[in-house]
Structure 1
Amino acid sequence: MWRGARNEGVWRVVTKLVIDTDPGVDDAFAIALAALSEDVELLGVTTVFGNVGLDNTTRNARRVLALCKRGDVPVAEGAARPLVHPHPHRARYVHGVDGLSGRSAALPEPERPVERGGAVRLLARLLEDSDDPVTIVPIGPLTNIATLLAARPDLHHKIARVVIMGGALLHGNTSAAAEFNIWSDPEAAQRVLGGGEVPCVLVPMDLTYRCAVDRAWLDALAASGPVGAALTALTPDYLAHYRKALGWDGMVLHDAVAVAEAISPGILRTEAVPVAVETSFGPARGATLVDQRRPELRADTEVPETGAPVSVAVDTDVDALRTFFAERLTLS
């Protein structure tokens, strides 16, 4: 999961990371967080449908990497649709028509062509080539990750953790029950979270909402340098949505919270509990069923638990997390 690196006489713990993403404004912040962190070896980025279509998510990911001067990071296109059923709609009402408030073209042009062979092939190659286990951070629908786990069981041992932004404990954002990433491909989410094949951390929107940033935080980031200014310039449509969702002038950096945990394990407090995903076509489709009962009570029931428990993020030092974001996004 980690290796040591010496920088100006100080040994750092370096996390090997791959991000699977559907940019998306908060995805852009999350990619930049990893790309600018000196204690991260960003091995690659894979893209998936979600907030907008695959062409846009791939273009956006490549442009954010170009903004961060990370043309060394390979990008591969993944799934354009869910594993089984058609995707009902995108999240343009949150992220704008191009995923970045209509401002994707303001970012630098990509420095590197898209990798041939697709996302699953790139993920497999990066795992095969790594001497150490790799952390995968899916911050969009889980279609690519479910496909990788099914196609390459021989590589499960090369995955340190899968740190997932998704799910909700109390209520959803796309429906009353479901959070967008899980709702977008519930079958894939059940395959990953219920399979028990690799260690999973689930970062639900209940926690990410508590970590929202306000206008003052964004203004400070915009004034910090060219990267901070470029990132905050992508937020108008996103801010307009979250003013309604939050009731105040701020926004939620959902995906960056998951990337923070991937970079700095333990920055979020987690509880290991069984998790299942509702895959029926009723009103609860895409809901994450997180069993937070005491283990003694769960043991008394006759319903067998499948797979390994999932580490669900339930708390953090919110001020410290916001500082973590600001310090790393203002390195430029």
Structure 2
Amino acid sequence: MTRLIIDTDPGVDDAFAITLAALDPGAELLAVTTVFGNVALPATTANARRVLALCEREDVPVAAGADRPLVHPQPHRAHHAHGSDGLSGRSAALPNSTRAARTAGAVDLMARLLDEADEPVTIVPIGPLTNIALLLASYPELATKIERLVVMGGAVHGGNSTAAAEFNIWSDPEAARRVLVGESVPCVLVPLDLTYRCAVGTGWLDTLRGSGPRGAALCALVPDYLEHYRAALGWDGIVLHDAVAVAEALRPGILDGVSYPLDVDCSFGPSRGATIIDRRRGGPHPAGTAQTRAVDIAMDTDLDGLREFLLAGLCGG
């Protein structure tokens, strides 16, 4: 059984991702921790609790984490894609949670769960990496308890928040560099290049909507998101970025990865927040261009198989 902690900033695609993990019979969802990102921390925390209530999984603890980046302010939220509350302005349509968020913060909760774990735990960060950077800095002795990080973020060829940078990495580049470059925990990065290719259309959404009340509730969250991606894709569909990463966490190998040295641009130029992936062929490199540690970059998948896996999981089948 896969043991998971999801660190998230819900977000429409985060809601789909949490649901996928919460309903998977082969997964033990140990906790959901929240971070600033698509919207402010109080909203991301409330949204996570509501999604778990929708899934009838209020046994899963929720803890709030960082409400800002490690060093520099987040330039802006993602209201343009996710709406004012993160869920297309429709968060109140989800059931109210009867369980309060944990008084212990996200980092302390993750540390306790890792310390108590008798088997390695997979952590799935699908928002800015601030909580994960703080966890690894504060509890370095627990790094060996982490089986791997499956991170939704970054891009090989251009971003979405800027021409160079993807939103999660761009929101806190210093935290991302600490996690992706400065640590040795095994890591899979699921970039925009792949998640866009996994986009789903209105027919897929119609099938989910018709699967029952839970599927209908999830589909009710997408209007603002669909409007945004209609313009971005050029057709009626949405990109479930975070659910693609959760799929890899639940079924290791569903995404095809290639190991590359990686760095994160923490400068203040136009490429701030970019993931710099070194795809040069092997052999000696010029002085001053030493390779950083390698990260598995998810580059491909069986697109139809992945969409079917997501749909079956979200339908509870």
Shorter-normalised TM-score: what interval? Answer: over 0.9
- 2:23 paired with 1:36: yes
Query: Contact 1:166–1:205 (CA<8 Å) still a contact in 2?
Result: yes
Aligned to 1:124: 111
Aligned to 1:11: none
Aligned to 2:58: 71
Deviation at 1:293, TM superposition (A): 1.5
Deviation at 1:129, TM superposition (A): 1.1
Q: Which amino acid aligns with 1:323?
A: E
Deviation at 1:301, TM superposition (A): 2.9
Q: Which amino acid aligns with 1:259?
A: V
Q: Deviations over 1:105-158 (max 9, x none)?
A: 000111311111200000001101110000000000000000001110100000
- 1:279 pairs with one of 259, 262, 266: 266
- 2:229 pairs with one of 228, 234, 242: 242
Q: Distance in 1 between matches of 2:276 and 2:225?
A: 28
Aligned to 1:98: 85
Aligned to 2:291: 305
- 2:314 paired with 1:329: yes
Q: Which amino acid aligns with 1:15?
A: T
Q: Deviations over 1:253-294 (max 9, x none)?
A: 000000000011100000111110000000100000001122
Q: Distance in 2 between matches of 1:156 and 1:64?
A: 29
Q: Which amino acid aligns with 1:23?
A: P
Q: Distance in 2 between matches of 1:71 and 1:31?
A: 12
Query: What is the percent sequence identity of the aligned residues?
Result: 66
Q: Distance in 1 between matches of 2:313 and 2:247?
A: 10
Q: Which amino acid aligns with 1:169?
A: V
Aligned to 2:281: 294
Pairwise CA RMSD of aligned residues? 0.8
Deviation at 1:195, TM superposition (A): 1.4
- 2:125 pairs with one of 127, 138, 158: 138
Aligned to 1:47: 34
Partner of 1:295, secondary structure, is coil
Query: Contact 1:134–1:160 (CA<8 Å) still a contact in 2?
Result: yes
Q: Structure 1 length as normaliser, TM-score?
A: 0.94
- Contiguous gaps of at least 5 residues in structure 2: none
- 2:209 paired with 1:222: yes
Q: Distance in 1 between matches of 2:183 and 2:66?
A: 22
Query: Contact 1:196–1:309 (CA<8 Å) still a contact in 2?
Result: no
The count of aligned residue pairs is 316
Aligned to 2:152: 165
Q: Structure 2 length as normaliser, TM-score?
A: 0.98
Partner of 1:156, secondary structure, is helix
State how 1:157-236 maps to structure 2 within 5 Å. 157-236=144-223
